Amino acid sequence: MGLPRAAGRLGARFRNRYTHEYTVMPNTRTNAPRGALVFDMRTLGRQAGSARTQQLTVPAPDDLRLELARVPVGTDVHLDVKFEAVTEGVLVTGSATAPLAGECARCLAPLAATVTASFTELYLYDRHDKHDKHDRHDKRDKHERFDEDEEQDEEELYLDGDLLDLEPVLRDAVVLALPMSPLCREDCPGLCVECGAPLADAGPDHAHEDAPDPRWAGLKQFGDQATRRAGAIDLQEG
User: Which pLDDT value is given to residue 35?
Assistant: 86
Model confidence at 73, pLDDT cuts 50, 70, 90, reads: very high
Query: Which pLDDT score, from 0 to 100, does residue 100 have?
Result: 96
Q: Average pLDDT over the chain, rounded to whole?
A: 77
Residue type, 238: G
Instruction: Provide φ and ψ at 152, rounded to 5°.
Output: -70, -35
Measure the CA–CA gap between 45 and 51, rounded to whole angstroms: 10
Helical ranges in the chain per DSSP H: 8-13, 127-137, 142-155, 167-177, 199-202, 217-237
Distance separating alpha carbons of residues 112 and 104, to the nearest angstrom:
10
Rounded-to-integer distance, Cα 223 and Cα 85, Å: 87
Q: Which of 14-23, 31-40, 66-75, 101-110 has the lowest mean pLDDT?
A: 14-23
Q: How many residues does the chain have?
A: 238
* β-pair partners for 111: 102
Q: Where are the domains positioned within the chain?
A: 29-200
**Residue 193 and residue 207: Cα distance in Å, rounded?**
10
Res 18: pLDDT: 41
96 vs 128, more confident: 96
User: Does the predicted model carry a pTM greater than 0.75?
Assistant: no
pLDDT tens for residues 115-167?
999 999 999 997 655 544 444 445 545 555 555 555 555 679 999 999 999 99
Beta-strand ranges (E) seen in 86-131 are 89-103, 110-124
**What is the mean predicted confidence (pLDDT) over 225-229?**
63
- For the ranges 54-68, 162-176, 188-202, the lowest mean pLDDT is seen at 188-202
pLDDT digits (tens, 9 = 90+) for 34-43: 689 999 999 9
The rounded distance, in Å, linking the Cα atoms of 66 and 63 is 9
Cβ-proximal residues to 222 (8 Å cutoff; 6+ apart), any chain? none
> Taking Cα atoms as reference points, which of 115, 111, 116 lies closest to residue 183?
111
Cβ 69 vs Cβ 102: under 8 Å:
yes
